[in-house]
Amino acid sequence: MSFSIATWNINSVRLRLPLVLQILQQEKPDILCLQETKCPDDKFPYKAFRAAGYERIAVHGQKGYHGVATLSLRPFEEVEKKEFCNKHDCRHVAVVIKAGDKHIRIHNFYVPAGGDEPDPEINPKFRHKLDFLEEMKAIKADMGDGLSSILVGDLNIAPYENDVWSHKQLLKIVSHTPIETRTLIELCSQGGWVDLMRKKIPEPQKIFTWWSYRAKDWASSNRGRRLDHIWSSPDLVPHMQEMEILTEARGMEKPSDHVPVIMHFDLA
């Protein structure tokens, strides 16, 4: 049985609703996890997504900032929203779904960007990011309840050398500093997670999912970073099939600076 999950930082779900609907019609993932929806729960465009067939929707949003949403073709067995760092800034939602003979908990995360200065002593945004990652360590691939797990989202860190266009030039740039990359790699390994994107496309091959709005010609300069991730519990790795990074979405009219990533599984 085929099963697919997509993750996409949409940078305002209402502003870019036509783009999301286009990708849903084109790709038809079982699950779409959106980040940076910038939309309170009561203003979320439920009607448009349900008309597209995605009747199950779990949102955790707020006005103008942050926010995550998980859209599904499959029923939800559970929905959970966690708060981090006592900030109430809507950066996580988890659902449990059934696919084949697997019951899978799917975490959808939007990790804080961290501001511009990579010094937690003078930049409270960077301190928040590091504290958030520390609290994320409690989210394990195996929570002891018999469920498989998938963790996706905009984790706002490009952990490996070839997750950025220039390792040396970005070592002091937030998202690729040693403290961030080391922390995320530890979070993944110590939590029992498998980085499926790097399992599919190992180092030293480049993987990018984000290109800055500041680039005059993002495609030709190709100064990207891999800020978006798909992890899973080890039991799902043998079922992993195709991965798609929809780079063409960066060239849409009024695009997000991130592009969708889709992972396909065979759970027969």
Instruction: Give the CATH number for residue 170.
Output: 3.60.10.10
Residue 75, exposed/middle/buried by CB under 10 A (0-12, 13-18, 19+)? exposed
Sheet containing strand 194-195, edge to edge, reads 78-80, 92-99, 102-110, 148-154, 228-232, 194-195
Task: Give the domain range for residue 161.
Answer: 2-266
How many beta carbons lie within 10 A of that of residue 183, not counting itself? Answer: 19
Q: Which residues are catalytic?
A: 110, 154, 258
**Would you say 175 and 209 are in contact if contact means Cβ atoms under 8 Å apart?**
no
Distances (CA, A) of 182 to 59, 163, 178, 225: 30, 14, 6, 16
Residues 153-196 have pLDDT tens digits of 999 999 999 999 999 999 999 999 999 999 999 999 999 999 99
**How far is Cα 220 from Cα 229, in angstroms, rounded to an integer?**
24
Positions at the binding site: 9, 36, 154, 156, 257-258
- Structurally, the chain folds into a number of domains equal to 1
pLDDT band at 35 (very low <50, low <70, confident <90, very high): very high
Residues 59-101 have pLDDT tens digits of 999 999 999 999 999 999 999 999 999 999 999 999 999 999 9
Positions at the binding site for Mg(2+): 9, 36, 154, 156, 257-258
Two tokens, residue 40: 């309170």
Q: What is the pLDDT of residue 235?
A: 98
* Predicted model pTM: 0.98
Instruction: Give the pairing type, strands 2-9 and 31-35.
Output: parallel
Mean pLDDT of 19-34: 98
pLDDT band at 268 (very low <50, low <70, confident <90, very high): confident
Averaged confidence pLDDT in the chain: 98
Report the percentage of the chain scoring pLDDT > 90.
99
